[in-house]
Amino acid sequence: MIELEGVPELIDPVMVAAFEGWNDAGDAASTAVAHLDREWKGEVFAALDAEDYYDFQVNRPTVFMEAGVRKITWPTTRLSVVRVGGDKPRDLVLVRGIEPSMRWRSFCNELLGFAHELGVELVVVLGALLGDTPHTRPVPISGTTSDPDLARRMDLEETKYEGPTGIVGVLQEACTHAGVPAVSLWAAVPHYVSQPPNPKATLALLNRLEDLIDVRIPLGELPEDARAWQVGVDQLAAEDSEVAEYVQSLEEARDTAELPEASGEAIAREFERYLRRHDGGGPPASGGHATADGSDSTSYLRDNPSGRTRPPKPPKPGTDDDEESSED
């Protein structure tokens, strides 16, 4: 039985979770939850027992000094709670950790135990995958759920993905079987520049989360960091004519595919976010990261002993290979 001492009764709580590792390309998802925790000064109220879920040869503990005393920090998953003020205050239960090495079903059941005891009304799991998307365009964010009714109510995709999955997909399905509404939000990170951090993808995830749960998230320096990140990648790509050509081909494919979708609905969504903000408002796993097809991938803009790898040609718009499906 989970006992939560010192945690007050929560208001319309939503659980927001992210895990480092295969589900976290560019550290975009885990950084998003860390940002929420930092901006709203989250208070940790629970931590899962690291012995139960982690292989310490894969995720090693770290040693640090505090007041002249050596201490050890163990890899684990921690839960904190933050209160979002405003006209409609609500609480967020933030789950931030590392994809477990073992006993995934027990891991999910333990998190669901906390969700049940806290009266969580919705679970949102953040993830990031590597995709054929240019860094010069808005970051694609897909929202998926296994619940057809929730998909209709919240304008989400009903997931059809089949293939390898990570803890994000397992936790979402565990929520579904337990009768807890659950959504996963995925950011597509350019596979040719996957090394962290990726503040542009983090910012896109937070913007989509803001729309989903109807709260105003303080962004701090993230917008400026995202602009600086894009300028830096622009400069790196310009140094290699093959990469620059590849980025241009991705841009053309993306623009052609999205032309019919540049609709009033997308424009209205951005305008609503603008109004909200101006209305008196105040390490990766060794196996790589998830991709749109569930396989692993690595960065092209990272030097290696054999030289820089030439990126593949992108699929032509309209072909079967051009269809992306989010990993859940």
pLDDT tens digits in sequence order for the chain, 328 residues long: 465 767 778 999 999 999 999 999 999 999 999 999 999 999 899 999 999 999 999 999 999 999 999 999 999 999 999 999 877 889 999 999 999 999 999 999 999 999 999 999 999 999 999 989 999 999 999 999 988 888 988 889 888 888 889 999 999 999 999 999 999 999 999 999 888 999 999 999 999 999 999 899 999 999 999 999 999 999 988 888 888 889 888 988 888 876 655 555 555 555 555 555 555 444 444 457 877 666 665 444 533 333 344 444 445 444 444 444 445 5
Answer yes or no: pTM beyond 0.85. Answer: no
Residue 98 tokens read as: 């590392």
Tokens 């089949």 correspond to what residue?
162
- Map out the domains of the chain as residue ranges: 14-260
Domain 14-260: CATH architecture, name and number where available: 3-Layer(aba) Sandwich (3.40)
The radius of gyration of the chain's CA atoms, rounded to the nearest angstrom, is 20
CA–CA distances in Å: residue 39 to residues 15, 280, 293: 16, 18, 34
Distance in angstroms (rounded) separating the CA atoms of residues 103 and 105: 6
pLDDT at position 294, please? 67
Position 246: which residue type? Answer: Y
Residue 93 tokens read as: 């239960």
Strands 157-158 and 141-145: parallel
Among left, alpha and beta (phi > 0; psi -120 to 50; other), residue 155 is left
Distance in angstroms (rounded) separating the CA atoms of residues 83 and 255: 40
